[in-house]
Each structure stands twice: as structure tokens, then as C-alpha cells.
Structure 1
């Protein structure tokens, strides 16, 4: 239940952020994230040249899964509202779980590809930096709403 709530909150946040000039906002956030990760990881020029193509490919595929697959499922759930049947709910849960498994497999693949490029220590730093970036982004978003 907690995971579903977090997923719903994340998707709601994503939809509201991206509904206004979707591409422009996405590009702004991406630029901020690139800058943040570059600073946090302190990549050499050689590491950077190899890191960013792998990372950007991962991000694009993650975006497609979250926004093409998961968003359409959430939209169907919202449209069903109180008329959602147990059968439909089970089907939607299965679809969401499959999308989450696809995201996990994608993440594992990225880590496997990045370890030889930047090493395990920087992969861990990258994961922490991603978490910190998301936390700062959400904090900034909350501050704007006040």
C-alpha cells in the first residue's frame, strides 16, 4: 500500500511538473541533474565520455517506461474511479508490477555497464547523488507551492 501511494504521488508530481511546457521543464531538470551529478561524482574526462552515453540511455528508457506504460495505467485507474472491479484492479496491479520489474532490470543493466567505467564506489556515489537530487527537487517544488 505504501509503495502504491509513493508511486501515485511520484506520478502525480511528474504529471504536474511536466504538464507545463513538458519538454522545456524536462530539459531544465535534466540540465540541473547533469550538473549536480557531474559535481558529486567528480568524473575524469575519460570517465565522463563513457559515463554519459550509458546514463542518458538509461534515463531515456526509464522515462519511456514511467510515462508511456505506467502513466497510461494510472490514467485508466483514475478513469475507473469507484467502478474499478477486482478483476480490473488485479490486471492493473500486474501491469504496474511488470513495469516496475522492467525498471529494476533496466537499473541493474545500467549498474552492470557503469561499474567497469567508473567503478563501484562512484556507482554508489551516483545512486546517493540521484537520491539527493530528487530530494532537493521535491523540496524546491514544495517551497514553490507555499
Structure 2
């Protein structure tokens, strides 16, 4: 029970921090904070972290995400090509593979990177479904 409460408190703390951050593109809070909160919940479920693992993992995760965000923002601002940006992101993942290995077993580190990719796929699918629903709702009703 303590493990579950600690993980929830940590996830909420991380969510609160991300909610407080502003969107660098327009100075306002965007959907990014909600998506990040969903991602944290998804990762928490997939990784099934012990209390000790969670205490070590989440600070490393926050640093990792900070570097990922900064790289993406810099690439967008500098109109950098896709391949150089992906190379930078891969180098960050390689770096943090070792960092995460200090907090988690190699199996859980692999699970983390897989779950992170899965979350992106699940998110894209959900967004596509919502767009399709929105388009269907805009079509005029043609009843008999």
C-alpha cells in the first residue's frame, strides 16, 4: 500500500511541476502537461516500480525529459533537419540508458524505452480517433 501511495504522490508531484511550466512557443500552458501526466501514469503502470526504484528513477526521468524537450525546441527554432535531430535524441537515449541502469534492472530499462514508444503510438491512435469523431460530428445529419 505504501508503494502505491508513494508512486501516486511522486507522479502527482511531477505532474504539478509540468503543469506549472509554460509552453515555450506561446507562453501558455498547453495540452503538454496533460499528456505528460498521462505518460507518467502509463509508465508507472508498465514499469511496476518498487518504492526504492521509483525514488531513484523519477529524478533521472525528469532530467531525461528536460534534455529531450530542449533538443526538440532547439531543433524547431533552428529549423534543423529530421536526421540530425533524431541523432541527437538517440544520443540522449544512449546516455540515459546508462543512467536509468543505475536505478533499474536492465530488463526494466528496456521496458521503459519500449513503453515510452508504445505510449507515443497509443497517443497518436487516440488523437486520430478523436479527430475522426470530430469530423463525423460536423457532418450534417441526413436522415429520411
What range is the shorter-chain TM-score in?
Answer: 0.5 to 0.7
Task: Please give the per-residue CA displacement for 1:34-59, whole angstroms capped at 9, x wherever unaligned.
Answer: 00000000000110011011111111
Q: After superposition, give the CA deviation of every residue in 1:88-118 in whole Å (9 maximum; x if it has no partner).
A: xxxx55xx54433322221111110111211
Structure 1 outlier segments of 4+, above 4 Å: 18-22
Q: 1:110 aligns with which of 89, 92, 96?
A: 96
Alignment of 1:14-93 (within 5 A): 23-69=29-75, 71-74=76-79, 93=81
Aligned residues: 109
Cα distance in 2 between the residues matched to 1:145 and 1:20:
23
Q: CA RMSD in A?
A: 2.2
The separation in 1 between residues aligned to 2:116 and 2:89, in whole angstroms, is 15
Q: Give the TM-score normalised by structure 2.
A: 0.67
Unmatched 5+ residue regions in structure 2? 1-23, 133-144
Larger Cα Rg: Structure 1 or Structure 2?
2
> CA separation in 1, counterparts of 2:102 and 2:28?
34
TM-score (norm 1): 0.66
